[in-house]
Amino acid sequence: MKRLLTILLALCLCLAAAACGGDSKEDTTAAEEAAESEAPEETEEATKAETEAPATEAATEASAALTGTWVTDPTSGGVGQGESYTLELREDGTFTMTAEFSSTSHSAEGTYEMEGSQLTLYPSTVDGQASEDPEGQREEGSLDGDGRLVFEDDGLIFVPEDAASQEPAETAASITDLAGSWKMDPACQETSGMDAASLVIEADGTFTITLEAGGETQSTSGSCTVDGSQIVLTSQDTGVSEEGVLDAQGRLQMEDGDLIFVRE
C-alpha cells in the first residue's frame, strides 16, 4: 500500500509540474502576441510624430519671423491722405492693428495664424467692441519675397518698423530708368504743402512738372540730367535747378525731402 501511495504521489507531482509548464508556455505566447499587436501602433505613432515635428518647427519659425511691429509702406497704394496703419504681432499668437486717420483712429485685436507664407488675422474686438463673427471678419495676407506683408484685398503693404525707419539707400539710375509719368506720394502731401504734383520725364532728357496748391496750378519744363543716383531738374524758364535722388524703393526724393514722387 505504501508503495502504491508513493507511486500515486509521484504521478501527482509530475502532472502538477506538467500543468505549471503548460501555463508558463501559454502565458509567454500570449505576451508575445500582445507585443506584436501593439508594435505597429507604436510605430505608426512614432512615424506620425516624426512627420509632424518638422511642420510644427517650420510654423514656429515662420511665426517668430513675423513677431514685432509692422507699419504700412508709404508707397502702398492702399494708404490714403493722412492715413497710417500699425500691426503688432506677438509671440503668443495675438495681434493689435491700429489705423490712424486725419482726425480719428481705430483699432482691432485678436489672434493670428501663419501657414507657410499665408497670414490670417481673426479680430475678436474692434474699437473695444466684441466681434460677432471673427471668422467672417478675418483678414488674409501673405509674406512676399521682399519680406513684406501684403494684404491684396485692402491694397496695404506692411514692412518691419525698423526697416521703415532706416534712411533709404540711393540707387543708380539713367534717363531710361526715369522716363515716364510720376505723381506725388500721398504720404508727403501734408509736409509738402501741395494739393497735387505730377512729373513727366521724357526719354530725350526733358521734363514737365506741374504743381497744385491753394487752388493755383503752376507748370514748368526743362532738362533732366542724371549722374549716378543724383537727378537734376533745370527749368528752361528760370534756369533754377532742383536736385533729387532715386531711392531704393524706386521713389524720386527731391532735395528738401518734402516732395516725393512715385510712378503712376
Q: Please give the pLDDT value at position 80.
A: 60
If you average pLDDT over residues 161-179, what whole number do you get? 69
Whole-prediction pTM? 0.45
Query: Which DSSP category does 187 fall into?
Result: G
Is the model's pLDDT at 85 over the cut of 70?
yes
Task: Cell numbers for 165, please give them.
Answer: 525707419
- On average, the pLDDT of the chain sits at 76
Secondary structure (DSSP) of 38-104: HHHHHHHHHHHHHHHHHHHHHHHHHHHHH-EEEEE-TT-TT--TT-EEEEEE-TTSEEEEEEE-SS-
Q: How far apart are CA 23 and CA 18, in angstroms?
A: 9
Helix, strand and coil percent figures for the chain, each rounded to 5: 30, 40, 30
39-51: pLDDT as tens digits: 455 555 555 545 4
Q: Domains of the chain, with CATH numbers?
A: 66-165 (2.40.128.300), 175-263 (2.40.128.500)
125-138: pLDDT as tens digits: 999 999 888 888 88
